[in-house]
Structure 1
C-alpha cells in the first residue's frame, strides 16, 4: 500500500494538491476546497502528534470492528461520517491553508516513521508508524479524488 513516507508518493500528493484552486468543486460532500485542505492539515497534525484527541467512547466500542477496513487497500467510501474534531464549517483562506498543508505534509513525510505519533487514533486506537503513513495517504487520496484531482 502507498504511504506518505515514500518520496514518490509524497510528490504525487503534492502535485495533486497543487492542482487545487479556490474554485475547485467537490464531486461529493459538503466541504469547499479550502475547508478540505484545512481538514487534511488537521489530520496530519494528529498523525504527527502535534494535536491529540482523546479516544471517543464510540471508537472504543466500534473502532476494533472497523479498523481492518480502515487499514485495508480498499479506498474509503464516499460520504463516510467525519469525526466532529475534523469538521470544518467555517470559511478558510485557501492560499494560507494550502501553504500550511504543504508544509505539514512535507514535514510528516520527510521525517519518516519517527514523525508518526504513538498517541492512539481517536476512533481506531493504536496505529503503528507504518499504518499512520498508509492511512494518511489513503485519506489524502480520498479527499483529492473528492475534488477530482
Structure 2
C-alpha cells in the first residue's frame, strides 16, 4: 500500500498537484478548487503539528474510531466519496490564489520526509502509529486529487 513516507509516492502526489488545472471542477462534493486546496493544506498542517493544534478525539471516535481507521487503511481502495469532513476543515472562503495554495501544499507534502509529530491524535481515529499516519495521509491526498480529476 502507498504511504506518504515513500519518496516516489510523494513525488507522484506532487506531480498530480501540479497537474490540476486552475479551472478544475469537482467530480463530487461541495468544495470548489480553492476550498479543496485550503482544506488539504489546513489538514496537512494539523497532521504535522504546525500552528500548535490542540488534539482531542471526539467521544464517538473513542467508540468507533479504531474500527473506522482499520476499515479505511486496510487496502488500496480509495476513500469513499461521501466521507464527512470535520468542522475545522470545512472551508468557507471560496476564492484566493490557486498557485500559491498549490505551492504550499507541495511544500507540506515534501515535509513528510522529516515527519515527526508524536503528539498527533486524530479527531475521530485517535492515537495512530506512524505507519497508519503515512497510509491515511496518502489516501486523503489521493482522495482530493481524484475529486478534481488529477
Instruction: Provide TM-score, normalisation by structure 1.
Output: 0.89
- CA separation of 1:70/1:118 partners in 2, compared to 1, >3 Å: closer, same or farther? farther
Q: Distance in 2 between matches of 1:106 and 1:67?
A: 24
Greater CA deviation, 7-16 or 67-76?
67-76
Mean CA deviation greater in 125-134 or 93-102: 93-102
1:105 aligns to what? 109
Judged with a 3 Å threshold, the aligned counterparts in structure 2 of structure 1 residues 45 and 117 are, in CA distance, closer, same or farther, namely: farther
Distance 1:101 1:92, change over 3 A: farther
Coordinate RMSD, CA, aligned: 1.5
Alignment match, 1:55: 57
Identify the residue that residue 148 of structure 2 maps to in structure 1.
Answer: 147
Which residue matches 2:4? 4
Q: Structure 1 stretches (4+) deviating beyond 6 angstroms?
A: none
Alignment deviations for residues 94-129 of structure 1 (CA, whole Å, 9 cap, x no partner): 122112111111112x21xx4244321110011111
CA distance in 1, matches of 2:88, 2:110: 23
Contact conserved, 1:116 with 1:132, CA < 8 A, in 2? no
Query: How do 1:28-107 residues align onto structure 2 when only pairs under 5 Å count?
Result: 28-50=28-50, 51-73=53-75, 74-93=77-96, 94-107=98-111
TM-score by length of 2: 0.89
Tell me how far apart the structure 2 counterparts of residues 130 and 52 of structure 1 sit (CA, whole Å).
22
Structure 2 gaps of 5+ residues are: none
Gaps of 5+ in 1: none
Residues 14-63 of structure 1: CA deviation (Å, up to 9, x unaligned): 00000113310111011111111111112211221223342112222321
Q: 1:70: how far off?
A: 2.0
Q: How far apart, in 2, do the equivalents of 1:64 and 1:137 lie?
A: 18
Size of the alignment, in residue pairs? 146
